[in-house]
Amino acid sequence: MNNKSISFADALSILNTPDDQLDELLVRTEALTLETVGNAVLLCGIVNAKSGQCSEDCSFCSQSAHHQTKAEVYPLMTQKTLIDAHLRSKDDGVSCFSIVTSGKGVPVGKDFETILAALADFDGTYRCTSLGIMTKAQLQQLKEAGMDKYHHNLETARSFFDEMCTTHTYDDRVATLRAAKEVGLQVCSGGIFGLGESLEQRVELAMELRDLDVDSVPINILYPIEGTKVFGKVDPIRPQDILKLIAMFRWVMPTKIIGLFGGRERNLAEWQPKMFSAGANAMLVGNYLTTTGNPVDLDWQLIEQAGRVPMRKV
């Protein structure tokens, strides 16, 4: 517990912790978490600002045009609608709010200008966007509009990426993260787990994110959607193994924001209160992109029962 990262071998050993030692792992990880990042939890909110018809073929995504799902399809919301979504999220108590769009990226033009204008009107939360692959010039414009943080997941390990996506490369994603850091933005990047990757590949992703020095890591657990490539082809991750996964990320990146986001409600279920002991200090409040989350009041109960407090914008 010296605020330094652990080795690949030690990280893998955490994922292989026997179930009868899980409680001990959680006790030690909670002590590390409280020492390095305290008891505050970052509450995040998002708006699915543009939905469906994505050109990319990510195996898990209900919004991909390569899949036949029931996900809604609509163009970018208006500036007023985005601002209203931000205000609703503020009322739910979030401290970080993100505009999320489907697609490989948002080209310079009307839609991009709408996002810039909406960002400039946001107040009282950290301002974030998740717009896909961006150029350095675009990221600079977003920063000048008031954006604090850019979200862009690597999604999985480099060695597994081609199994997850074939329409763009891992290096495309890494380049976007590096460009965001170069213009002075905070970077939020994590992945989705349960796609068929190995335990070693889960550690591989953690090490890549550590080496990129990202600021926040959202951990998503697959919520299989009928019509997607992975639906019915992978086994769900057990709650015990989700907790070990969170703990591994905390020990690899002891001073960073580590969050449990997509799939939390379905995959952890009654184990959700233990995510804080496992090392999580961020969570998404409200609905996801195409699936619903917990009622907001329930998430606040989870926070209070765990003795945590909301992290406020500074």
Give the domains, in start order, of the chain with CATH numbers: 8-303 (3.20.20.70)
Instruction: Give the span between the Cα atoms of 103 and 54, in whole angstroms.
Output: 4
For range 10-26, the mean pLDDT: 98
pLDDT attached to residue 293: 67
135, with CB counted inside 10 A (0-12, 13-18, 19+), is middle
Query: In the predicted model, what is the mean pLDDT of residues 69-97?
Result: 92
Percentage of the chain beyond pLDDT 90 is 79
pLDDT of residue 52: 85
Rounded (5°) CA angle 75-60-128: 50
Encoded tokens for 187: 């970077």
**71: confidence class by pLDDT, cuts 50, 70, 90:** confident
Q: What is the pLDDT of residue 72?
A: 87
Span 154-191, pLDDT tens digits? 999 999 999 999 999 999 999 999 999 999 999 999 99
Q: What is the per-residue pLDDT across 242-292, written as a single tens digit (0 to 9) for each?
A: 999 999 999 999 999 999 998 898 899 899 999 999 999 999 987 656 566
Checking if the pLDDT of 7 tops 90, the result is yes
Q: pTM for the full model?
A: 0.94
| pLDDT tier, 70 (very low <50, low <70, confident <90, very high otherwise) | confident
pLDDT tens, residue by residue, 125-162: 999 999 999 999 999 999 999 999 999 999 999 999 99
Q: What does the pLDDT read at residue 4?
A: 87
136's enclosing H/E stretch is helix 136-144
Q: Following DSSP, what letter does each residue of 253-304 receive, concatenated?
A: STTSEEEE-TTHHHHHGGGTTHHHHTT--EEE-S--SSS----HHHHHHHHH
Name which of 8-12, 101-105, 187-191, 209-213 the model is least confident about: 101-105
Q: Provide the pLDDT for residue 86.
A: 95
Confidence at residue 26, expressed as pLDDT on a 0 to 100 scale = 98
Which range scores top for mean pLDDT: 1-10, 61-70, 205-214? 205-214
What pLDDT was estimated at residue 69? 86
The neighbouring-strand residues paired with 96 are 44, 126
pLDDT for 115: 97
Q: Which residues pair with 44 in a beta bridge?
A: 96, 284
Q: What is the mean pLDDT of the chain?
A: 93
Identify the residue whose tokens are 């350095």: 136
The answer on pLDDT for 313 being more than 90 is: no
- Read off φ and ψ for residue 40, nearest 5 degrees: -85, 145
pLDDT at position 198 over 70? yes
- The whole-number average pLDDT for the span 223-246 is 93
CB atoms near residue 313 (< 10 Å): 13
Q: What is the pLDDT of residue 1?
A: 59
Decide: residue 50, CB within 10 A, 0-12 exposed, 13-18 middle, 19+ buried: buried
